[in-house]
Structure 1
Amino acid sequence: MGDFCMPSLGADMETGKLVEWVVVPGQRVRRGDIVALVETQKGLFEIEIFADGIMGEPLVQAGQTVPVGTVLAHFQSDQESSRTDEDLIIPPPPVEQQPSVPEASSEVLPPTPQVKPVLGRIACSPSARRLAMELGVDLANVQGTGPNGAIRREDIEQAAQHQKIEQEDDAPGRGLPPETTADETPGSAMRRAIAAAVSRSNQDIPHYYLETDIDMSRPLQWLEEENRKRSMRERILPVVLLLKAVAKALHDVPDLNGFWQEDRLQPKTDIHIGFAVALRDGGLIAPAIHHVGTRNLDDLMQAMADLIERTRAGRLRSSEMTDSTITVTNLGDRGVKTVFGVIYPPQVALVGLGRISERPWAENGMLGARRCLTATLAADHRATDGHKGALFLDAFNRHLQHPEAL
């Protein structure tokens, strides 16, 4: 018997609200299936299960807020369920026997449970549900216009507009969602969560910082020539080269790719880069782009675009919030030349990327203008030292100068 627990979706998370079960007792689930929706201070997340098995009865009901690590439900592994399926699976309704049809096999498989809608469950996409929470809209009062009556974002926006008009009629000036004061906006909860995380990071992690300037002329020239062969939709952004070069450098200096846990460095083999994404309503989330080291540039471009879209639509999975082995923050598109980040525990490093701009550059006694980038590294001094950090930045630069090999 296994336990499905309230996951920790970041060092700043202490509790989570179970919004909805998307499976029913007796339903077979596979590793990676979405089984629940959980709300934290950073938004609404789809929670995956990390083992194959059959779900048991829920121990926590929708609407409850519980601490991280609380058992939400039990589930049986496939080995256990092969022996005791009849204890968990809802038997199908009796079917009239057809005596003329012989049995196809002497070996009978366990019956597959019929998945029925959870009593009282409202058909609503995670994106619309998140918007409803932000706007203080009760889903029970919303008429869905999607397939089979599912509630869409447009329905939430329309309901919020009606609700605002009614509130203004009853009490002028009251247009904020429930449990939100005039001094507290919907994004303030996330700001508090970010403040708690970075405060803990600065207090517990002895940071050291390194900075280097990189000549981007060669990689950008290669990228421009490569993009000329492609359609607009297939073109690759410069940040994709940077992400791939980070992964290559981590392969050379693996001590920066991992976690500080149990008072020791625990390096990770897989490279999952947390990519910082600014949200439209304020706040910041750094979900993981998985297996960056093994992706080609086209695949990485698609993965990054998909992740940014789903982050801003509120459709992230729990694994994307917990798997990051290092974080990259890119503020170059905002005109920032240099960014020094704060490490997100339990990670041990963060890479900051600034704006690519033309600057004076001296080489071989000649002075000219080159397109340059300032890259920084914030690293945990308990796990590495400045020498390791310098090796990483050198490897990062070296790989960028050979873009055809990325």
Structure 2
Amino acid sequence: MSNQTIIETYKLAKDVYSKYGIDTDKVLESLQNLSISLHCWQADDVGGFETKASSIGGGIQVTGNYPGKANTVEEMRADLEKVLSLLPGNHKLNLHAIYGEFNGEMVDRDQIEVKHFQGWIDWAKRNNVGIDFNATCFSHPKAEDGFTLSSKDEEVRKFWIEHVKRCREISNEIGKQLGQPCIHNTWIPDGSKDMCVDRLGHRTLLKASLDEIFETEYDSKYMKDAVESKLFGIGSESMVVGSYDFYLGYAIKNNKLICLDNGHFHPTEQVGDKISSVLQFVDEILLHMTRGVRWDSDHVVTLNDESTLIAQEVVRAGALDKTNVGLDFFDASINRVGAYVTGCRAARKAFLLALLEPTDLIKAHEEKGENFERMFLLEQAKSLPWGAVWDYYCLQQQTALDSEIIDVVQDYEKSHLLHRGEVLV
């Protein structure tokens, strides 16, 4: 499709949307202001760079062995740069603590420092992206019994407290150097495979650990804290210490962001429906957008009903400035760069659709009790020419159209990914 055709088609779409009270130019301005945090762990199946001999654990499982996994920091950065070149809009990079540059040195997690992530900060500056950060409380000998911050072994608990403290300190320095807030998200795998009698004991310890971790306060200009719940995981099927009830209460009481990962709830729960509720009690939220299939399987985000509802509820609440959007999926069964591009573009499309919704018109019918009219408009909005608006946005951003993505990703696979071998450290 020629650039002129895209522009002319956009003008037609702009006229259609204007009849519903939607200014598509303003919509694209709002969409551009949305920053999506790209998770580094899709590139290497949550392996990290501590040691290639280790395997992931803590309720996390990645399936597949598609060729092209990133084995080094350099390979990961090359993949991320390729992905960023294929994405319209502003972005951040979401780093886990295991992705530091340790240069072959064994640095345990209670000893990590800013210097181990300075290379990533410099890379972010060069690529004009922000950084978010996560403590890594899994895939470690001191997490093998299933408990970290809620462990009844005081030595183990103190180890993980120190790790998260250092991660917050690193996050603060990242924010200072990049001049924008770094969100530090705390998720732990703590739980029980089978029946647990002393749930209260573990949750009391988790609260005490968090209280100690958050004793040091940082300026929100540079660092913000989020806490993330989970329904269950592999090895924590019967009880998860950091449940939604626990973390929602903690976030409200302690003025922290609540992280809503839509793969961490019961399959029949709608995370989109939670947004207007939690925003009554917390200042900001963090979204981890994924696609759970029957369980927290972290499939690549697609433009489905769930991702669309999440975006709609954020926009309907006028909460784009209170919402931090990140991705959290990992699929080793397909081209990993292609997975990134598919998932991130789908997430941004969900927000585009939400911004293009004639919400005021629909609400007006709703207020009058005109429910047929409300339903019909909601259905009609699905087939309005939003695709023309998306193509124009990609053209504006000087990035590939959807019709070009497959060829570009396949070319990158042939020139880069298929030449990689497994690197053991």
- Pairwise same-fold verdict (TM > 0.5): no
TM-score normalized with structure 1 length? 0.26
Larger radius of gyration: 1
TM-score normalized with structure 2 length? 0.25
Which one has the bigger helix percentage? 2
Select the structure with the greater relative contact order (CA < 8 A; seq sep ≥ 6): 2
